[in-house]
Chains A and B, each alone.
Chain A
């Protein structure tokens, strides 16, 4: 099983600040890495696929980077609606998710 470790567990920031979320894989997943946003009571929403490919309708302030075992999701300037939980997910082997990073308001 490929284990994904997300850090930090919680990120406390203010609107307008830059958010940097990390996802580390226990072995290489190439670029088969996706990022999702989940708000309370809602299904996850795909933000990024293939490590850096923004999904349809996702604002340009969201960007993904990385390959192999180390990946980053960056939100360039936090909007009020961006405070949520973010998950990474690998698709190199059978799919697994990271434990999530909660971005909350400082």
Chain B
């Protein structure tokens, strides 16, 4: 059974870089039918998409975060990672990684079918 596990510091200082990794177990990140992504949820608020990556390295990013975000993939470790530069208090959130089975059926079919448990990141001095 596929599992995703987020890891990284729970506390980041303002202006520093928030870095997280997602380790995929029970399946290969190099599958050609899936994208891998990051989603976050500020305390008491809704879901916000950060971006997705394909095993080849192709990426899609949220336009509102694109200037600060980099998502990368390491197929040898079966991991993908998130870097968010210049962190501020508004980046405080639970960060989730998730798998997206990509397909096309008279339109793009895009949804997240497997999620990690999430990791809480607080941006504070």
Q: Does A pair with B?
A: no
